[in-house]
């Protein structure tokens, strides 16, 4: 059996990690704090990343028209029906969640931390959007609660970065990971498989690069084309290849073997809303994808991390 598993999983799941750390079921409650993004407001760009919807990758976050506590309670109460006696992590998901004055960040973060059974915060942001002042505050926060900063990288390849309009460099990302870890702040990195014109080898290279960094977790997404995005326009014009389910599973299984076993796999597929999705339609059946990854890893008799010592 895999070291970080108590079931059939051959990789280090977030559920396993939380249960062992907190001794119970823990859920992330996705929130929309009403932030914008420097890639939208003109600081570094105006169009945003080509795959982002107007919800800023927060399709499952709360309603930004509600205050944060009401958002949190609405989602929490739905989860409680299925899993009573759980604990919660406030997940600041939509847009760039460190991109505001420090007093605004403090008010928003701490309004969630003071709620019952909240054991931590996950803050999704960009590596170019954390000031030194914010870093100092995050360090303080990490000593009071279980804090994770999620950084969107998507790919290490410059050509793809330009294509998707990420508007920050790999060097900037690398330096921010260093700064966060110097303060002992947990880092989770987002990557996307299936970005236009990337090969399987390029996607493996992204994971190999990240395996050498001091990161605590990774989110592996499958590129999905949403309605009313720049990516939709590009897809209709260029008809670039979208990974099949079989191709995606093959790539993920290989990527997992290159990640150190202690790196927590926070996500391993995409999770779009059916009504917004154009391609790939196989993503709608999320649990089928997860089950097929398990089956393929068993078939190949492989585990997370077995190729990670290089």
pLDDT tens digits, one per residue of 190-215 = 999 999 999 999 999 999 999 999 99
pLDDT digits (tens, 9 = 90+) for 11-51: 999 999 999 999 999 999 999 999 999 888 889 888 889 89
Q: Which residue has the higher pLDDT, 57 or 3?
A: 3
> What pLDDT, on the 0 to 100 scale, is given for residue 310?
64
Query: What CA–CA distance (Å, rounded) separates 252 from 292?
Result: 11
Q: Which of 201, 176, 202, 199 is nearest to 189 (CA)?
A: 176
What is the greatest pairwise CA distance in the chain?
A: 52
* One-character DSSP codes across 25-60: -EEEEEE------TTTSSSS-SS--TT--TTTT-TT
> What pLDDT, on the 0 to 100 scale, is given for residue 55?
57
pLDDT digits (tens, 9 = 90+) for 236-269: 999 999 999 999 999 999 999 999 999 999 999 9
Query: What CA–CA distance (Å, rounded) separates 215 from 178?
Result: 9
Query: What CA–CA distance (Å, rounded) separates 151 from 215?
Result: 10
**CATH fold for the domain made of 14-300:** TIM Barrel (3.20.20)
Query: What CA–CA distance (Å, rounded) separates 155 from 168?
Result: 11
């Amino acid at each position: 059996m895999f070291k970080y598993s108590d079931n059939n999983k051959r990789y280090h799941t977030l559920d396993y990690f939380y249960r062992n750390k907190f001794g119970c079921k823990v859920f992330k409650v996705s929130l929309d704090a009403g932030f914008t993004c420097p890639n939208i407001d003109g600081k570094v760009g105006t169009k945003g990343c080509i795959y982002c919807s107007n919800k800023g990758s927060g399709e499952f976050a709360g309603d930004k028209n509600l205050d944060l506590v009401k958002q949190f309670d609405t989602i929490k109460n739905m989860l409680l029906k299925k899993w009573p006696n759980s604990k919660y992590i406030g997940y600041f998901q939509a847009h760039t969640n460190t991109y505001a004055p420090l007093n605004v960040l403090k008010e928003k973060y701490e309004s969630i931390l003071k709620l019952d059974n909240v054991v931590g915060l996950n803050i999704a942001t960009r590596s170019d959007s954390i000031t030194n002042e914010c870093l100092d505050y995050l360090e303080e926060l990490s000593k009071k609660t279980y804090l994770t900063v999620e950084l969107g990288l998507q790919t290490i390849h410059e050509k793809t970065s330009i294509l998707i309009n990420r508007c920050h460099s790999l060097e900037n990302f690398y330096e921010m990971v260093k700064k966060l870890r110097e303060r002992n702040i947990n880092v989770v990195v987002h990557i996307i498989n299936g970005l236009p014109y990337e090969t399987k080898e390029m996607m493996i290279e992204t994971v190999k690069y990240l395996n050498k960094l001091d990161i605590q977790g990774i989110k592996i997404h499958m590129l999905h084309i949403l309605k009313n995005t720049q990516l939709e326009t590009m897809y209709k014009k260029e008809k670039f290849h979208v990974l099949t389910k079989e191709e995606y599973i093959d790539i993920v299984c290989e990527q997992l073997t290159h990640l150190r076993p202690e790196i927590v796999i926070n996500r391993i597929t995409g999770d779009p809303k059916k009504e917004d999705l154009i391609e790939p339609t196989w993503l709608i059946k999320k649990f089928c994808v997860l089950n097929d990854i398990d089956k393929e890893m068993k078939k190949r008799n492989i585990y997370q991390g077995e190729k990670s010592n290089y």
